[in-house]
Every structure is written in C-alpha cells, then in structure tokens.
Amino acid sequence: MRYPFLLFDADNTLFDFNRADRVAFAASCKVSGITPTDDLLERYRVHNNACWTMFDRGEASKEFICLERFRRFYTELGIDADPAAANEAHLATLATCSFPIPHSVEVCRRLSETHRLFLVTNAVASVQRGRLSRAAIKPYLEAAFISEEAGAQKPTKAYFDYVFARIDGITRDNCLLVGDSLTSDIQGANNYGLACCWYNPAGVENPEGLRVDYEITDLRELYDIV
Ligand SMILES: [Mg+2]
C-alpha cells in the first residue's frame, strides 16, 4: 500500500458543493426578495469565487468574505438587500445539504476497509459539521479537520501542522491529499511536501508551476493509485 493515510478535501471532491450552493443561493434570494435565476447564480458565483480566493490567499477573514460576496452581488444588481440576512440563510441551508459527488460514497466505503480516511476542509465549521452529520460518507471518515476550528486554512503550513499533530502515524511520505482546488489543495500539498491527487472532473488544463502527482476525473481511479 502506497498511501495508508488519505486526506480528502470535502467540497467538490466528496460533496457536490455546486448543487448545494444552488439550493443555498435560492434561500438567500428568498430573504432578499429576489427570484433566483441561472444568470443571477452565475453572477453571485463570480463574487463568491473571488472572495474565497482572497480567503485562500490569507487576504481576508472568513467572516468578512461571507458578507462581502453578498455585498458585491447586491451592489452589482443595484439591490438594497441585507447581506447579513442573506448570508445567514445561505449558511443555514448549506448545512443541511450533503449531496455526494458521483461514486464518493462507494469509494470511501471501499477505501476505509484498508486505509485511514480524513477530511481536510476550508469551511465554516457550523456548515461543515452540519453537512457531515447528514452525509453518507460519515462512517468511513476517522476525523474531519475544519479550517475554522484549526485557526488556519489550506494551503498554509500552519493548517497541515494542526492536522499532522492530530493523526497518529502519519508522515509526509505515507499520505495522499486528494482535492479539486489548485489554490488550496494542490498548493497546500506543494507547500507541505505531500503527494497530491488533483480531482479534475471538468478536465481543466494543468497549471504551470504546481506539482500534480496524480490527476483523476473519476474518484474510482483512486483504487489504482493508493
Ligand atoms: Mg474543494
């Protein structure tokens, strides 16, 4: 066995975050008196992604970006709505949504028979704990390390120090980080010297300057890697 310890990202790696986000977006629209449409969701996502990139880079706090994404979105639309109320509805709804990524449940179940599985996620703790408690993969995960509880986030060294201090037996050489995000997962593995597997179902072009040890479009490809 090459990698007895597997560190999985959560959103858009094991959980279908895009689908959950769509439901949560509709909830935020409801409190703001807006009719949700695909066009509006796309506009919201532009701001949401920009804000989370700021967070990944350590440029802003989670509290700030959670409100800022709605501030920017409503400013662009010229709507007088309360970003705090929208964000609250969004997070509360998100916590109830744990739609699995295709094959994630079967892959976690099978790998948990031979490997030790952990969740490494940049997220709001209340949302991620809520979602995890309802998730079909929950019995297969030994622990979940959530950035908000760690006081640090991927891709920082401090975050991985926190994780490594809490897993008996893990070393830089016996674990594999599996994730969809280049800025948090793959960059984090590069920073900390871990092997990494990029879950890239959309077949986005491989970036320059980042080490990607494995690239998969289907989680079942992990069987041959680990
Ligand atoms: Mg992710």
Neighbours of ion ligand 1 (CB under 5 A): 9, 11-12, 180-181
Distance 120 CA to ligand 1 centre (A): 10
Taking the C-alpha atoms of residue 104 and residue 150, their distance in angstroms, rounded to an integer, is: 25
Chosen domain end from 94, 112, 143: 94
What's the CATH code of the domain at 88? 1.10.150.240
Cα R_g (the chain), whole angstroms: 18
Structural domains in the chain (count): 2
Instruction: Please report the pLDDT score of residue 45 as a whole number.
Output: 96
How many Å lie between the centroid of ligand 1 and the Cα of residue 145?
14
CATH code, domain with 204: 3.40.50.1000
Structural domain range at position 27? 17-94
Last residue of a domain, one of 67, 94, 121: 94
Residue 113 has pLDDT above 90, yes or no: yes
**pLDDT, tens only, 35-63:** 999 999 999 999 999 998 898 788 999 89
Three-state DSSP class for residue 199: strand
Average pLDDT, the chain: 95
* DSSP, res 99: P
**Structure pTM?**
0.87
For the segment 144-185, what is each residue's pLDDT rounded down to a tens digit?
Answer: 999 999 999 999 999 999 999 999 999 999 999 999 999 899
Report residue 98: phi and psi, to 5°: -130, 55
Using the CB atoms, write b or e for 82-118: b if 16+ within 10 Å. Answer: ebeebbbbbbebbbebbbbbeebbebbeebbeebbbb
Percentage of the chain with pLDDT > 90?
88
Same domain, 74 and 139: no
| Residue 199 β-bridge partners | 216
Q: What is the pLDDT of residue 55?
A: 86
Please check the confidence at residue 224 and state whether its pLDDT lies above 90. Answer: yes
Are 104 and 215 contained in the same domain?
yes
Give per-residue pLDDT as tens, 119-148: 999 988 988 998 999 899 999 999 999 999
133 & 214 share domain? yes
Phi and psi angles of residue 48, each rounded to the nearest 5 degrees, phi first: -60, -45
Mean pLDDT of 15-31: 95
Rounded distance, CA 124 to CA 126, Å? 6
Q: How far is the CA of 62 from the centre of ligand 1 (A)?
A: 16
Domain edge (last residue) among 94, 123, 148? 94
Q: Are residues 39 and 109 in the same domain?
A: no
Same domain, 168 and 208: yes
